[in-house]
Amino acid sequence: MVAKRFFRSKLSIIGLCMIIFVFLFSFVGPLLVDLFWGYGEVEVFKIERLSDLVTTADFVGPDGHYYTYYDKSVSIVTTKAPPSKDHWLGTDTYGFDIFTRLMYGGRISLIISFIVILMETFIGVILGGLAGYFGKWVDQLIMRIVDIFACLPGLPILLVLSATISSIEAIPAEHRIYYLMAILTLMGWTGAARIVRGQILMLREQEYMMAAETTGLRPIQKIFKHLIPNTIPQLIVTATLGLGGVILYESTLSYLGLGVPFPRAAWGSMIAMADPSKGQEVLANYPNMWVPAGILIIIAVLGFSFIGDGLRDAFDPRMKR
């Protein structure tokens, strides 16, 4: 019934197709590019470009016709090459193939978002489960912590913490991504905790839980064996809707240079090449360097949003046919 309700919605199907496309593009695409072209994520390409063409002399050939002699100057450039059959979206300001880096950037965004959502859900399930089952001072303590985190301005704190970590020389650049995931988790677990607590407050009064009381099960067994499984539909919906938000946060931090470290690809850092503070050239003349990354972010966020809405309606038993 859940699957039937889900696929009854056109937006759900559209969202599913969008996410399947993003996954294939991000995970299968790099394998195909490496197989057929041998391109890597951080491979710099040197492309010949005609830089100057100067007429130096006119002369008469042996056949009596006039000819013009051209002095052709060719330079080797590695940046801002236009789209071609070898580089479908051209190369960026560093000489990297844009199409290839879009694939690797999608892989980073999806991996980070899924890991962060799993950690947020794990923390939310534990704390929300304890608060909902035990109640009293345990509930008060945990929910006051939730209230504190919920009141914090998420994006400014993410920026401050990310900038602080980036300035610590003792932390290798390649390890900062793990701190980024920890920060995103720290700021996002409260939603799952509230949902689990609310569901358990309702479920613990059900008859099957009254019967479980007579079996002598320990509280932990009651929580994780009988209560938490009944909150999974709501958690799936919340997690799916949250994936798009994590992608936006990660892209924002990468845009500001506080996310995935260079030279690793990230959609946000690819858009950052058009930052007006770095000049108007890329923004005005090279849309192929930043527009595709923005389009992929929109596709991913909308796709997860459509799927989340579809799942919410599918799991809702009060939904009208």
Burial class (CB in 10 A: 0-12, 13-18, 19+), 290: buried
* Helical spans, DSSP H, in the chain: 2-8, 10-23, 29-36, 98-134, 136-151, 154-167, 176-188, 190-203, 207-213, 219-221, 232-255, 267-271, 281-285, 291-315
The predicted structure's pLDDT at residue 127: 92
The predicted structure's pLDDT at residue 222: 79
The predicted structure's pLDDT at residue 152: 84
The helix or strand, by DSSP H or E, that contains position 54, with its residue range, turns out to be strand 47-60
The predicted structure's pLDDT at residue 274: 84
- Phi, psi for residue 206 in degrees, rounded to 5: -75, 160
- CA dist 72 and 70 (Å) reads 6
The predicted structure's pLDDT at residue 178: 86
Domains and CATH numbers, the chain: 2-43+97-315 (1.10.3720.10), 47-77 (no CATH)
The predicted structure's pLDDT at residue 14: 95
Q: Is the dihedral of CA 194, 196, 199, 200 positive or negative?
A: negative
* pLDDT tens sequence for the chain (321 residues): 778 888 888 899 999 999 999 999 999 998 888 888 777 776 776 665 555 545 555 656 666 666 665 555 555 556 788 888 888 888 888 888 899 999 999 999 999 999 999 999 999 999 998 888 888 888 899 999 999 988 888 788 888 888 888 788 777 877 888 888 888 898 888 989 999 998 888 877 777 766 766 677 777 877 887 788 888 888 998 999 999 999 998 898 888 888 888 788 889 989 988 887 777 788 888 898 999 999 999 999 999 999 998 888 888 756 544
The helix or strand, by DSSP H or E, that contains position 228, with its residue range, turns out to be none
User: Considering only CA atoms, which of 107, 102, 76 is closest in space to residue 87?
Assistant: 102
Overall pTM surpassing 0.85 (yes/no): no
- For the CA atoms of 25, 30, 31, 36, the dihedral, rounded to the nearest 10 degrees, stands at 110
Query: Coil, strand, or helix at residue 77?
Result: strand
